[in-house]
Amino acid sequence: MPDSPLFTAAAIAVIVLAVAVVVGVGLKVIRSFRDLGTDAERATYTTLHAASKAGQHLRGGLHPAGAAKASKQLRILLRCDALAITDTDSVLAWDGAAEDLRPTLMRLAAEVLSTGRTVVVPRAGHPATSDHHHDFSAVIAPIRAGSKVVGSVAALAPAAGAGLVRATSEVADWIAAQLELAELESSRTLLMEAEVRALRAQISPHFIYNSLNAIASFINTDPARARELVVEFADFTRYSFRRHGDFTTVAEELRCIDRYLLLERARFGERVQVSLRIAPEVLSTVIPFLSLQPLVENAVRHGLEAKEGPGHITICANDSGAFAEVTIEDDGVGMDPEHLRSVLAGHTDGDHVGLRNVDARLRQVYGDEHGLVIDTAPGEGTMITMRVPKSQPDHDA
């Protein structure tokens, strides 16, 4: 029965248990909130978090899409009613209140863009563009790229005190720093592209000339072999001169090497012998485009070509935990270690361009600890080791 003492006691027990659970959860939430630290520490965390989020959207430069996303975070930093970001021609983003003032902002920002000085516009200085009236002052600060003003930041608030003026200027300088990082990233990408073009230019005259001569030598004596070599040559050059992507996979680079060696063996015959030991799990590892083939070409041109009799190249790709490790070893003539250091430092023009180029690109992409490791000595051959991370979420083949 609903009114029985047993039911009433059970109901009270359930209610008490529920209250205890709620109180326990509440105390846990309060303790978690307290674990964040003092009010000052929580404010610091909020500021850093907002700056980090905004920075991600500005790394592509000063563009409407990134500025729109960044403005939301930057308004949190300044705690203003509205925040706008402009370039020198237009308003890129507006977040917050009073957006009907947007058409007048470029007129108000004209002095900032021309002089590079922060301007405070009192409430009377920007009448509304409609029948609405706004009680906002505006602080407009320049965004500089070097000595040039490339845009501005405008913060709108009921009063433009000294704190908001300083904070808006700091935000503008912070945006400028993000744009400089974006420019550096763009320059790094352009440098890598230039180095790949330089490597292609180094490959083309030497290798293409020799390959075409080798193909020509088979046209009369072995037409089928000549046709096969023409197809391999076409595939090799198509890969080497492709226009998309700074990265490829170990598998693709090995296919390129196979075509390269097929063409070189047409020229050298049995003088070039090759062994491969490849771990299947590293085949999908992403590596910089044309980073293995130049090392094999170096082994042929500078190791075996100058050697009397046959020479041997061993190519190994091993799984080394979080890394893929590729070694290319030849038993050719080797080189002086001091000369090698001079080559890698860029002090020797026109010699071992492929080695220097690959080493520089690996260091740019992964850091100095991932440059080529080269063991060599005169008459002792050369072993080159390349070690790259297997997981590279920012790089697509």
| Residue pLDDT, tens place only, 117-170 | 999 988 754 544 444 446 788 899 999 887 789 899 999 998 888 888 888 888
Would the pLDDT of 43 be above 60? no
Q: Tell me the per-residue pLDDT of 183-205, one tens digit each, with 9 for 90 and over.
A: 666 555 555 555 555 555 455 56
End-to-end CA distance of the chain: give it in Å, rounded: 72
One domain for residues 194 and 210: no
Q: CA 156 from chain center: how many Å?
A: 35
Q: When comparing pLDDT for 306 and 115, which is higher? A: 115
Is 115:141 a contact under the CB 8 Å cutoff?
Answer: no
Q: How many other C-beta atoms can be found within 10 angstroms of the C-beta atom of residue 85?
A: 26
The residue written with tokens 């180095």 in the block is 195
One domain for residues 191 and 60: yes
Total domains in the chain come to 2
Residue 27 lies in a domain: no
Tokens found for residue 91:
């308003």
Nearest-CA neighbor of 203 among 354, 88, 34, 364?
354
Residue 334 lies in a domain: yes
One domain for residues 143 and 119: yes
pLDDT winner (highest mean) among 1-15, 101-115, 347-361: 101-115
Tokens found for residue 298:
């170096």
Tokens found for residue 163:
């704190």
One domain for residues 223 and 146: no
Q: CA 337 from chain center: how many Å?
A: 33
- Domain end point (choices 146, 181, 199): 199
Residue 16 lies in a domain: no
Q: Tell me the per-residue pLDDT of 1-10, one tens digit each, with 9 for 90 and over.
A: 444 443 344 4
Is 374:327 a contact under the CB 8 Å cutoff?
Answer: no
Give the structural domain span for 292.
Answer: 205-389
Determine what percent of the chain is predicted with pLDDT higher than 70. 72
Q: When comparing pLDDT for 256 and 354, which is higher? A: 256
One domain for residues 90 and 226: no
Strands 373-376 and 382-389: antiparallel
One domain for residues 189 and 209: no
- Domain end point (choices 174, 199, 224): 199
Query: Sheet containing 137-145: which strands, arranged edge to edge?
Result: 91-96, 82-87, 148-157, 137-145, 119-121
One domain for residues 174 and 257: no
One domain for residues 190 and 130: yes
One domain for residues 163 and 43: yes
CATH of the domain at 131: 3.30.450.40
Quote the CA–CA distance of 17 and 15 in Å, as a whole number.
5
Quote the CA–CA distance of 178 and 45 in Å, as a whole number.
20
pLDDT category, 62, cuts 50, 70, 90? confident
Residue 139 lies in a domain: yes
Quote the CA–CA distance of 351 and 344 in Å, as a whole number.
10
Strand partners, 384: 328, 374
One domain for residues 149 and 220: no
Residue 140 lies in a domain: yes
Which pTM was predicted? 0.51
Quote the CA–CA distance of 55 and 214 in Å, as a whole number.
55
Nearest-CA neighbor of 370 among 335, 323, 334?
323
Q: What is the dihedral of CA 127, 132, 138, 144, to 10 degrees?
A: -90
Residue 92 lies in a domain: yes
Quote the CA–CA distance of 338 and 350 in Å, as a whole number.
17
Q: CA 299 from chain center: how many Å?
A: 31
Strands 148-157 and 272-278: unpaired
Is 287:388 a contact under the CB 8 Å cutoff?
Answer: yes
DSSP 361: H
pLDDT at 22: 38
Backbone angles phi, psi at 151, to 5 degrees: 175, -165
Number of helical H runs and strand E runs in the chain: 11, 12
One domain for residues 227 and 261: yes
- Domain end point (choices 179, 199, 219): 199
Is 229:214 a contact under the CB 8 Å cutoff?
Answer: yes
One domain for residues 44 and 175: yes
Amino acid identity, position 374:
I
